[in-house]
Structures are given as structure tokens and as C-alpha cells.
Structure 1
């Protein structure tokens, strides 16, 4: 676990988050990824943004499960940097990709609409579904079982 620098720099803090709250973030992640898929033929920018949010929510579920939360500015960036420190190095390529998705999402939300292509939307949805599954697999079974209660 190499997120001590984030702790020292007060970019993350300890947090006591219940299993139910972690499961709720997974529910939101799954929902947002589905919304992204559902609206991909209507609005590419919002499909991308909703899907990105699904990735963020799955990432937060993992972070909360580990007993931490982001604080201060740049919470999305910090969340993904936490993943880089908390997950094995094999995840780094995925996390670097997510940081690029974050930058693209910021541009499309805050600067200029119409940046997202059909191909990018399709790719981010497929990646998000894969990423969600990968996060779900590494979370404790008692959290994942809470999803079955829906």
C-alpha cells in the first residue's frame, strides 16, 4: 500500500464507511454505467460523463472499503491516485487510462461540448463494465452480497 504520501499531504483521510454505504456506491456505479449505455445514441457527451461517473463511484467504493476518503480539491484525481497506491502495479495501465478519461470528462463538462466521439463512448462503456466487474471481484463478498438484496 503506497498511498502514505496522499495521507501526509492531507489529500485523503481515514473514514469509517459501512458496508451498506460501499454497496450503495457500487449500485450507483452500475446504474450510471447502464445510463451511459442507454443514452449513447442520444447524447455522446452525457453518455461519456455518466459512464465516467460509474467508474468514479466504483473507485470510491473500493477506497471507502479500505477505510479512506478523498478530501480537499481534486477529489476525482486523488481517488484514482489512491487506487494506484492501493492496487497492484498491474492496475496502473487501467488507472492511467482513467486519469485520461477524467481529463476528457472535465473538458466536455466545463469547457466544450461535442468533444466525445461515438467510438470513445463505446470504448468507455466497455471499459467501465470491465472495470466495475474487476472492482466488484476484489471487494469483500459481504459487500457484494448486499447488491443481491435489490
Structure 2
């Protein structure tokens, strides 16, 4: 978990960013599969909103988590470094794998 600590300390953690990106890409793939595409304006927000509307409640906690991390990632990139805690970093690692696996089963 050394990478997570460096990320939360503002050292830049590509693993967490990549896992967030992969989770978003899996969600976009699901959208495309069923015939939808996010608009270019606020597309990341749109993807997570769509996922809430289209997937069952068993997925909602995970989707809410990724949407919160989307907001933190934006603040981290554009405003303040180090907003993602070590605990959240570990959650990203765990939930990204779970989310990607769930989407693979669906599509």
C-alpha cells in the first residue's frame, strides 16, 4: 500500500487514477452496449448518473463511491493535492476490481 500513501500525501499516484479511469471506461462500455453515449459536457458525471439509473440497487453504493471519488479527483487535480485518504485509496483498489468484474458479467 506504499503507492496509496504516496498518493494521499500528494505525491501523485497513477495506480489510483488508472483504476478510476478503468472503472469509468467499463461503465462507458456498458452504456455503449445498450445504445447510449454520454454527452461531452460533464461526461464523467453523466456516466455515473446513468449507471445509477440503469443498474440495480446492489450496485448503487459502489457507484455513489465512484462519483464521490470523481469529485475528489477533480478537486485534487485542479485545486488541492492530497484529498484522497489512504482508506479511500484502498477502497478504490478494492471497488474498481469489483465494479469492472460486475460490468464484464453484464456485457
Using structure 1 for the length normalisation, give the TM-score: 0.61
Q: Following TM superposition, by how much is the alpha carbon of 1:81 offset from its aligned partner in structure 2, in angstroms?
A: 0.9
The corresponding residue for 1:76 is 44
In 1, distance between residues paired with 2:104 and 2:17?
A: 21
| Kept in 2: contact 1:52–1:105 (CA 8 A) | no
C-alpha contact 2:4 2:90 (8 A) present in aligned 1: no
- Cα distance in 2 for partners of 1:90, 1:119 equals 22
Q: Is the 8 A contact 1:108 1:114 kept in 2?
A: yes
Q: How large is the RMSD of aligned CA atoms in angstroms?
A: 2.0
Q: How does 1:104-119 map to 2 (within 5 A)?
A: 104-119=72-87
Q: Which has the higher contact order (CA 8 A, sep 6+)?
A: 2
Relative to structure 1, is the Cα distance of residues 86 and 41 closer, same or farther in structure 2, using a 3 angstrom cutoff? closer
Q: Specify every segment of 5 or more residues in structure 2 that has no aligned partner in the other structure, as ranges.
A: none
Q: Structure 1 residue 107: deviation in Å?
A: 1.0
Determine if contact 1:84/1:92 at 8 Å carries over to the other structure.
Answer: yes
Matching residue within 117, 120, 134 for 2:102: 134
Structure having the higher Rg: 1
With over 3 angstroms needed to count, the CA separation of the structure-2 counterparts of 1:127 and 1:53, relative to structure 1, is same
Q: How many residue pairs were aligned?
A: 102
Instruction: Specify the alignment match of 1:40 in structure 2.
Output: 3
Equivalence for 1:55 = 23
4+ long deviations beyond 6 Å: none
